[in-house]
Structure 1
Amino acid sequence: MKNAVVVGVVVLTVLSCAFIFKAHQDLEMERAKLVRERYVRMEAEENLQKTEGRIKSLERELADSKEKLDSIRSVLNTGSNANVDLKTELEALKQAKEELEQKVLGLEEIPGQPAENVKQ
């Protein structure tokens, strides 16, 4: 009977040790999973922060580009307005030139005056 009790205790001890060993392995696997999950979350957080920084940088670049585009548009509008003004002035000068040429021709055709006096 003593031998049966000793064998039973040994079997229970071996089973207990096996159970403890298996529980320890499971615990270590869960800890490893937890560490991996924390690492993945930390990486995701870092990537999120980097991405947010890039977004802010791109938004600043976009705002700067819009300002530059607006200034270019205003310069183009000013240039086109100046161009229209210059065209109008050129047309007025052409018309004034034609009128002066007509007057010169009219003065050259006045009878009784020498052509030399008119050209001076």
Structure 2
Amino acid sequence: MEEKKVSTLFEEMRDDISNYISSSLELGKLEVYEKLSLGSAAISYGLIIAGIALVALFFALVTAALYLGELLQSLWVGFGIVAAFAVLVLLIMLLLKKYFNQKVTNGVIRFLMTQDDKDDKKSDK
């Protein structure tokens, strides 16, 4: 068997390293795509649920306003009470903005870390 030249071995090694780097970059890119698709699916699902909940809340508030209006014999008063309640909830939400932002950020990080752990367990098998 004929021995290969040192230059040929270096060229083969360089090609192998180049292929390894390209494959590693491609794998990283695919992992990012997977995380983005999982995240966007979760966000889309959350937005759909939030939209449905918003419509249900709207009808519940209108129903409460109509009921209070009938009870107090003035639709304006009923809707005013419900509107004041909604403004109060809005003010509370604005005051707790930092807390909710932190909770959402931590939730997203926890979601991504869980996906990372699942990926690690898959690759260990």
TM-score after normalising by structure 2: 0.51
Structure with higher Rg: it is: 1
SS in 1 for 2:31: helix
Percent identity between the aligned chains? 14
Deviations 1:49-96 (A, max 9, x none): 011012112222222221111110100101111111121111111101
Aligned to 2:45: 78
Deviations 1:14-61 (A, max 9, x none): xxxxxxxxxxxxxxxxxxxxxxxx333321210110110121122222
Displacement of 1:106 in angstroms is: 2.4
Runs of 4+ in 1 over 4 A off after TM superposition: none
Aligned to 2:67: 100
Aligned to 2:18: 51
Q: Aligned Cα RMSD in Å?
A: 1.7
TM-score after normalising by structure 1: 0.53
Number of aligned positions between the proteins: 70
For the residues of structure 2 that align with 1:40 and 1:80, how far apart are their CA atoms? Answer: 59
SS in 1 for 2:16: helix
Letter in 1 for 2:18: T
Question: Structure 1: any 5+ residue segments left out of the alignment?
Answer: 1-37, 108-120
For the residues of structure 1 that align with 2:25 and 2:50, how far apart are their CA atoms? Answer: 36
